[in-house]
Every structure is written in C-alpha cells, then in structure tokens.
Amino acid sequence: MSRAVLSIGSNVGDSLAHLQSVLDGLGDAVVAVSPVYSTAPWGGVEQQDFLNAVLVVDDPALDGYGWLRRGQELEAAADRVRIERWGPRTLDVDVVTCDDIRSDDPELTLPHPRAHERAFVLIPWLDVEPEAVLPVDGTTTRVDALLPLLEDEERAGVHRTRLVLDRRSR
C-alpha cells in the first residue's frame, strides 16, 4: 500500500480544469478530495491568486517516487513550464507525504519540507483528514496544531470557494 497526500494548485489558464485533470488522471487511486480554495500566492512573486486543493491517494503499485513521477506527468500534460521559483503555473502537484517515508533526497524530500508553513496545504488537508499528522523537525505533530502557528496573514489568504472537483467526471 502506498498512501500519499498531494497538494495541487494552479493560477494560469483554466485553473479549475487543471485541478480537475489531476483528479481525472489519478482515477481510482483518489481516496479523498478537499474543497477548492482560492489562495494568495506564496513566495513573493507578483501574480494572481491560486486555486488549490488536497488529494489523498492510494495505489499499492506506487511509492513516493512513483507519486512524484505521476505528478510530473500531469504537470507536463498541463503544459507546466518551470521558469521562476514560486512563479505562476498552469499546474503544480506536490507530494506532501507518502506513508511514513522520510527522505532527504533533493529530488523527493519527504515529508514536503515547507508543508507545515503553508496554510494552502494545511487547511484543505484538514478538510479530508481531520486527524492528519505531519513530521516537522523530527517530531510528529497534528496538522490542526500547526495551523495556529502560522502568521495571521498566511491563514487569512486562504478562502474556501464554491468550486468543486468532480469525482464523477472520470
């Protein structure tokens, strides 16, 4: 079994369609889908807001690198171009966690090294896994305990939308 948490985001083109393409592309591996959030951009690059969501996925045939490759394939299908770090993008698929794997490999760092700093990951994740935990600096911490540690501005930049990712469109 390989259970992973994926954070997906888009702020170029038809962002909702880009997010939907991930859900469609992962098919039956998708266990849970968060609501869609509108979020302020992160990282200091001037750009429009993102649409973000979190997926919980499970596929015994994939490990952390398998989820990374699937995410990269879906990004490529959305014409993702990596020009500027934290810049605008058609689709971003990040592996937040995969099972209890810890990895310092520069290609795949697990858990995601900045997930605990990002309200756009933590808030939707709590929608689908209220009891979620995340290892931070060697200590496993409940995600709901990490959220209040963020700056008010970080949390305030994340807004639930009425947009929905449709599991039936597959």
Instruction: Using alpha carbons, select from 58, 8, 47, 4 the residue that is nearest to residue 163.
Output: 8
Tokens at 13, concatenated: 């083109």
Residues 6+ apart with CB under 8 A from 161: 35, 36, 37, 38, 51
Task: Name the catalytic one among 79, 89, 142, 152.
Answer: 89
**79 part of the active site:** no
Is 89 catalytic? The answer is: yes
Catalytic residue among 49, 63, 79, 80: 80
Pair 1, 92: CB distance under 8 Å: no
Q: Which candidate in 14, 92, 152, 167 is catalytic?
A: 92
CA distances from 123 to 15, 35, 39, 89, 118 (A): 19, 10, 11, 21, 9
Q: Which residue has the tokens 């939907």?
A: 20
Tokens 């990490």: give the residue. 146
Give alpha helix (H) positions in 62-118: 64-77
Active site residue 162: no
Task: Report the alpha-carbon distance of residue 52 to residue 120 in Å, rounded.
Answer: 7
* Residue 63 annotated as catalytic: no
User: Phi/psi of residue 166, each to 5°?
Assistant: -100, 110
Just list the catalytic residues: 80, 89, 92, 94
